[in-house]
Amino acid sequence: MPNFRHGSLYPRAAMLCRERPQSAEPGGRVRTLTDTGERLNSEIARRKRAERTLRDRLLFEEMLSVISAGFINLSFERIDEEIHHAMKKVLNFFKVDRFALLETLPDRKSWMITHCVSGTDVPSVPVGENLPVSLHPWAYEKLIQKREVLSFSKIDDLPAEADVDKENWIVWGIRSNLNIPIRIGKPVDHIVAINSVKYERVWPDELIPRLRLLGEIFVNALERSRAWKALQESEERLNLATVAAGAGLWILDTNTGQFWVTQMLRKLFNFLPGEELSFERYEKTIHPDDRKGVRELVQRSLKTQNDLTIEYRILKPDGNVCWIMTRGRPYGGATGIPLRLMGICMDITERKEMENELRKQLAEINKLKLQLEKENIYLRNEIKTERGFGGIIGHSDTLRYVLFRVQQVAPTDATVLILGETGVGKGMVAHAIHEMSARKDKTMVTVNCAALPSNLIESELFGREKGAFTGAYARQAGRFEVADGGTIFLDEIGELPLELQTKLLRVLQDGEFERLGSPRTVKVDVRVIASTSRDLKVEMHNGRFREDLYYRLNTFPVTLPPLRMRVEDIPELARHFIDKYSRKLNKQFESLSKDTMQMLQAYAWPGNVRELEHVIERGVITSPEPVFQLVEQLEQGPGMEADKPIKGFETMAREHILQVLHKTGWKIEGKGGAAAILGLNPSTLRFRLKKLGIKRP
Ligand SMILES: Nc1ncnc2c1ncn2[C@@H]1O[C@H](COP(=O)(O)OP(=O)(O)OP(=O)(O)O)[C@@H](O)[C@H]1O
């Protein structure tokens, strides 16, 4: 072993680390040899020096190869121990007092001595502690920021800027110091340091690359150990995650067909511990019906290099079936065929059972839903016939018959003519027909022919072009166009001027018309519902209504009887309106006085349901709670009768017979039949009906 202590051979110390000379060389040595002798001696000395240098280098290289070999195949747990061992060798080799390895910490505000070996009687340094860089600011700047080697052989030679560092080095007993930054990564992460404590030393330049090489061996080993630890941690995490998720890992080697699986997967597939596994062995566990699917998917995944996901059944040794979900991903292989297929398997039996249960429940729900829908349709039909359509209240036979007719005609596209006095509910019936038709999602346009000025009615119904007449400043679509695809309700059709009746007939027949001021024909698909409180037959006889239009409109007449002919509807209607208006006025009526009810039923209601509604509305305002009473008297004033036009005998007879027929539900003969009520022979009545043109609607 070379000896570099004070007083050792100078040439070797000069090559490695020389002790600092304590005094200057004494001069004036008497030269006794001749020049030739001196040259010879000096040549011998130079050769000896060179020989020793060579020998020392050889020794160092030998030590380096031993140290390097020590790190080959070294388990990661033993890296720190090996570094210590190697550092000890170096310490002895160079005969220095302390050899340390430092690491800068990620915060860049501190560093740490990670490994340190020292000779006997050398003061200890704080190993493994965070050392703030503020203790050695000068050294930190030089080594880390400037990446320079820090070397001094005499602490007193340090510059003034190093005062803080100097103080702390004195505490650690340092007399001479050599620090070398090791640059493996971009920022300097490690430093190797050798110190002399007992003597002052000179650190020759040749030492620097050698120590740096050693430092790099150590740091490389440490980095590998760190990477290994990180990998181990990540494996641990993966393991934890797969165990927590109840998943087993597997790897299939595509070359050998070998199958590597984790413990968890072995348990899942009932593979024996230590059993050699292959894809064929794995395949055998799969339910025969699912085997082909799994094999094909694996082959496809290897061919297309795409991930695979599959759910299948495996057979347990006890004969039970277990559902497995497998995900896999192909890896590696430059030739196009992956080297490995890796993935996870999970037991999804519980989920599958729940899914099956849910599916069963869903089927049950669907069955019940269908049943409910059927019941709903049935109930809705019941409600429609029993409790009125679209809010039509009443249970009288006559009204039920009207609603039955409505139900019959609504789904068709037939034109409907609703007949009845004012306020009987013709508008409501029209709405009910539209709502029950296939056109219910389209618009229903209402036109009150009586309310429109005769000069505007044409443009309102059929539209106009700009400038069609004075004041027509813009083009306007008519109500027929607006109702295209839907329904048009022509209220009070009897009021339609004769000249427009022709145009209406054309729409009814061909669905065509022209806008006012335009020769272009417009085609529409509109269902027509018309209503009138007039007797259109009389109007026709008097030449005020076109015969052809009358018969076209009268395809399906629906006659709404006046309220006085369905007295039994009055209580229900009255209660309905009391509810409606007391809600609006925030009043509460528990009952309706008997007198009031009698009065309501005795009255003739010339204004029909509309009049009843208004009377009740006023009553709700004036009646004290909780019993509804009518304060006003409902007397059929003479004025009321006087207001009515005097009707001819035939009209009166017709109306009367119709009234009775409505009441009897068109029963002519027998007890309670119309003939008996009218005091006529049934055949006489039939003759009269024919004469008066009365037909059962
Ligand atoms: N059966 C009914 N149930 C509930 N409300 C009704 C009933 N019949 C009519 N009404 C109500 O009476 C009022 C008049 O009804 P509607 O306008 O339909 O009658 P109408 O015969 O078309 O009258 P008009 O010939 O004067 O236009 C409306 O407020 C309506 O809500």
Q: Rounded to 5 degrees, what are φ and ψ at 513?
A: -165, 175
At residue 296's C-alpha, the angle toward residues 294 and 299, to 5°, is 110
Residue 115: alpha-carbon gap to chain centroid: 55
Using CA atoms, how far apart are residues 367 and 70, in angstroms rounded to an integer?
Answer: 77
Domains and CATH numbers, the chain: 55-228 (3.30.450.40), 245-347 (3.30.450.20), 388-559 (3.40.50.300), 564-691 (1.10.8.60)
Q: Which two tokens stand for residue 296?
A: 């094909």
Average pLDDT over residues 172-197: 88
Per-residue model confidence (pLDDT) at position 7: 28
- Segment 507-552, tens digit of pLDDT: 999 999 988 888 888 899 999 999 999 889 888 988 889 999 999 9
- Segment 468-485, tens digit of pLDDT: 666 666 677 788 988 889
Residue 219: alpha-carbon gap to chain centroid: 50
Are the C-beta atoms of 295 and 328 separated by less than 8 Å? no
Of all protein residues, whose CA lies closest to atom 17 belonging to ligand 1? 427
Amino acid at 433: I
Are the C-beta atoms of 517 and 472 separated by less than 8 Å? yes
Per-residue model confidence (pLDDT) at position 17: 46
CA of 343 to the centre of ligand 1 (A): 74
Q: Is the CB of 425 under 6 A from ligand 1?
A: yes
CA of 341 to the centre of ligand 1 (A): 78
- Segment 573-594, tens digit of pLDDT: 999 999 999 998 889 998 888 8
Indicate the pTM of the whole model: 0.44
Q: How far is CA 429 from CA 297, 394, 411, 559, in A?
A: 65, 13, 14, 10
Using CA atoms, how far apart are residues 232 and 255, in angstroms rounded to an integer?
Answer: 27
Are the C-beta atoms of 533 and 422 separated by less than 8 Å? yes
Q: Is the CB of 165 under 6 A from ligand 1?
A: no
Of all protein residues, whose CA lies closest to atom 29 belonging to ligand 1? 610
CA of 427 to the centre of ligand 1 (A): 6
Using CA atoms, how far apart are residues 78 and 71, in angstroms rounded to an integer?
Answer: 9
Q: Counting every residue, how long is the chain? A: 697
- Segment 78-124, tens digit of pLDDT: 899 999 999 999 999 989 999 999 998 888 889 999 999 999 889 88
Nearest to 478 by CA among 509, 498, 499, 500: 500
Query: Which ligand 1 atom minimizes the distance to the CA of 448?
Result: 27
The band of 32, judged by pLDDT with boundaries at 50, 70 and 90, is low
CA of 277 to the centre of ligand 1 (A): 86
For residue 85, the tally of other CB atoms under 10 A from its CB is: 13
* Higher pLDDT pick, 110 / 386: 110
Q: Is the CB of 422 under 6 A from ligand 1?
A: yes
Pairing of strands 190-196, 308-315: unpaired
Strands (DSSP E) along 453-520, which ranges? Answer: 487-491, 512-514
CA of 612 to the centre of ligand 1 (A): 10
Q: How far is CA 527 from CA 210, 228, 450, 504, 669, in A?
A: 105, 84, 20, 12, 38
For tokens 């550092």, the residue is: 87
Give the SS3 label for residue 586.
coil
Average pLDDT over residues 361-388: 68
Pairing of strands 591-592, 627-628: parallel
Per-residue model confidence (pLDDT) at position 634: 73
Query: Which ligand 1 atom minimizes the distance to the CA of 612?
Result: 12
Per-residue model confidence (pLDDT) at position 441: 85
Q: Is the CB of 461 under 6 A from ligand 1?
A: no
Q: Which two tokens stand for residue 513?
A: 């018309």
Q: Is 227 exposed, middle or buried (0-12, 13-18, 19+ CB in 10 A)?
A: exposed
- Segment 274-329, tens digit of pLDDT: 888 999 999 999 999 999 999 999 999 988 989 999 999 999 988 899 999 999 99
CA of 392 to the centre of ligand 1 (A): 9
Residue 98: alpha-carbon gap to chain centroid: 65
Of all protein residues, whose CA lies closest to atom 26 belonging to ligand 1? 422
Which residue out of 424, 566, 576 has the highest number of ligand 1 atoms within 8 Å of its CB and is therefore the one to mutate? 424
The band of 26, judged by pLDDT with boundaries at 50, 70 and 90, is very low
Which distant-in-sequence residues (6+ apart) come within 8 Å of 485 by Cβ?
439, 442, 443, 525, 526
Nearest to 57 by CA among 18, 90, 10, 16: 16
pLDDT for residue 458 is more than 90: no
| 261 DSSP β-pair partners | 250
Q: Is the CB of 486 under 6 A from ligand 1?
A: no
For residue 167, the tally of other CB atoms under 10 A from its CB is: 11
Average pLDDT over residues 152-163: 94
